[in-house]
Amino acid sequence: MAAKSHGKPGIVEADENYFGTVKTFKRKLKACKTCTEQEDITYLWVCVTADGLKKGFCGKKSGDSPLAMYQWLNIIDEAASLGANWLVLSLADPLEECESIWPISKWAQQVHGMTVGLHLKECASLTGKETKLIRQLDLDKTRVLLRCTSKKVPEKIEKQGITVWTANPQPDGEKPKCLGPKRMIFVNENGVLYTCGLVEGNNTYRIGHVEDGRLKHILNDPEAPRKVCDDIRVVTPGCDGCPALLAGFFQEM
Ligand code: SF4
């Protein structure tokens, strides 16, 4: 991804003052969106580990350092310029170990007005420490997504002002009532873009890498698969946290 680090915060540096200086930039992004033909993107879905978003390419460069924070933020910026107003971060590691999610989430909320979904994989409840950490975000623009084992999904609960949604509103094995991946950008923790989370790791559905170029061009590549074959389109845990699925169950999306 052609990105410049100038003016963007590092993990530790991100602060309120900084966010206040980027309004001009945001206006430019909006102008850009109105004068170019874009895909109708609504959701950005990114997988995160405690190491951040790595540069590794399909595991071949697993020793590579993580993408720099400004590159993360560029991904958010580009997705926002394409129309994304939701960012879902699927965390493979415990929330308290994923430090990079805080500046990224704040950037998405404060600069682009996006709603952030924090998807805590394999978690069914929030600890007190997690609750405290999450409360640093704009809670009106935050949803926590947890895997629910109950049959009585979807469910929406409030925990200390935090809105919690089930990450799996539809039982495994059913045909997903999703809007499909056309309105979504999915990035795994190695920076590889796939059609959606269900087909992550399946080379047939690999679209590119965040460093391949501008997201707009990657997504508009006629060779890029933007739907999943009906034969394999079945709800699995790979669909957990999928914003295109949640949108069918939660009116707010
Ligand atoms: S991850 Fe599942 S629910 Fe989401 S777009 Fe793909 S098939 Fe549909």
198-253: pLDDT as tens digits: 999 999 999 998 888 889 888 888 888 888 999 999 999 999 999 999 998 888 87
Query: What one-character-per-residue DSSP string does 171-229 give?
Result: -TTSPP----GGGEEEE-TTSEEES-GGGTT-GGGEEEETTSS-HHHHHH-TTS--S--
For the entire predicted model, the pTM comes to 0.82
Strands 192-194 and 86-91: unpaired
**Cβ contacts of 220 within 8 Å, gap of 6 or more:** 39
243 lines ligand 1 (CB under 6 A): no
pLDDT at site 36: 39
228 lines ligand 1 (CB under 6 A): yes
Ligand 1 pocket test: pick from 235, 245, 249 the residue with the most ligand atoms within 8 Å of its Cβ.
245
Tokens 């990114």 locate to 46
For residue 246, the CA-to-ligand 1 centroid distance in Å is: 10
pLDDT at site 19: 52
pLDDT, tens digit (0-9, with 9 covering 90-100), for 71-125? 889 999 999 999 999 999 999 899 999 998 999 999 999 999 999 999 999 888 8
pLDDT at site 56: 44
245 lines ligand 1 (CB under 6 A): yes
What 3-state DSSP class applies to 144?
strand
**Rounded CA separation 10/21 (Å):** 15
Ligand 1 pocket test: pick from 47, 166, 228, 240 the residue with the most ligand atoms within 8 Å of its Cβ.
228
Mean pLDDT within 133-154: 83
CA distance between the termini of the chain: 28
Please report the atom of ligand 1 found closest to the CA of residue 235. Answer: 2
pLDDT at site 3: 42
Work out the percent of the chain whose per-residue pLDDT is above 90: 49
196 lines ligand 1 (CB under 6 A): yes
The number of residues in the chain equals: 253
For residue 172, the CA-to-ligand 1 centroid distance in Å is: 12
Please report the atom of ligand 1 found closest to the CA of residue 233. Answer: 7
47 lines ligand 1 (CB under 6 A): no
